[in-house]
């Protein structure tokens, strides 16, 4: 019995040595692209038996600043699915950074993703002009609404507007 217990102890020590402080494989998308004003969802994927784990997010992967209570993201960041997802709303170009997911579990198991690079582009302006009609010479009219009155003034040549206490609407008559 003593020999069996000794072998069993050796096996348990080996198993404990292998699993204690073991790394956990954490995966994140490499790059996500969005426009300013949109929302983005970051995903942190990992496989683990058991339901006891903690997930944290940081701005940057090496000594990154925690996203919890980060003043730059106040009222714009939310965590979902046991923190496996992080949502940032009302994106700005300044949000173009790398965001990193870290996972820790009992027994010293932990892992860190390689980070997801967020690229935020300026919001695209769609003037609503049909490209098939671009060859036609447009006629511009502006409309100023002031105290319920409509004023129409034809404009020729280069169009430039000075807006002061007035709401201008540009109509392109093709």
pLDDT per residue as tens digits for the range 107-130: 889 999 999 999 999 998 766 666
- For 170, residues 6+ apart whose C-beta sits below 8 A from its C-beta are 140, 141, 142, 159, 161
Sign for the pseudo-dihedral over CA of 91, 96, 97, 98:
positive
Residue 13 lies inside a defined structural domain of this protein = no
**Residue ranges making up the domain that contains 51:** 23-121
Q: Are 141 and 154 in contact (CB under 8 A)?
A: yes
**Claim: this prediction has a pTM higher than 0.85:** no
For residue 87, count other CB atoms closer than 10 A to its CB: 13
Total tally of structural domains belonging to the chain: 2
Cα–Cα–Cα angle for 24, 25, 31, nearest 5°? 140
Residue-wise pLDDT tens digits, 31-59: 999 999 999 999 999 998 777 899 999 99
Same structural domain for residues 70 and 94?
A: yes
């Amino acid at each position: 019995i003593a020999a069996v217990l000794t072998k069993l102890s050796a096996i348990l020590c080996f198993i404990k040595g292998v699993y204690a402080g073991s790394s956990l494989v954490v995966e994140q998308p490499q790059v996500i692209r969005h426009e300013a004003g949109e929302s983005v969802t970051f995903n942190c994927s990992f496989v683990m038996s058991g339901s006891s784990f903690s997930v944290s997010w940081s701005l940057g992967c090496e000594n990154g600043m925690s996203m919890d209570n980060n003043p730059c993201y106040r009222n714009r960041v939310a965590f979902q699915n046991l923190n496996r997802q992080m949502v940032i709303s009302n994106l700005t170009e300044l949000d173009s950074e790398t965001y990193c997911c870290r996972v820790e579990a009992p027994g010293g198991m932990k892992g860190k993703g390689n980070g997801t690079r967020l690229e935020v582009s300026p919001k695209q302006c769609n003037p609503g002009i049909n490209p098939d009609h671009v060859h036609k010479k447009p006629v511009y009219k502006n409309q100023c609404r002031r105290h319920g009155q409509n004023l129409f003034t034809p404009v020729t040549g280069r169009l430039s507007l000075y807006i002061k206490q007035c709401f201008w609407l540009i109509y392109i008559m093709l």
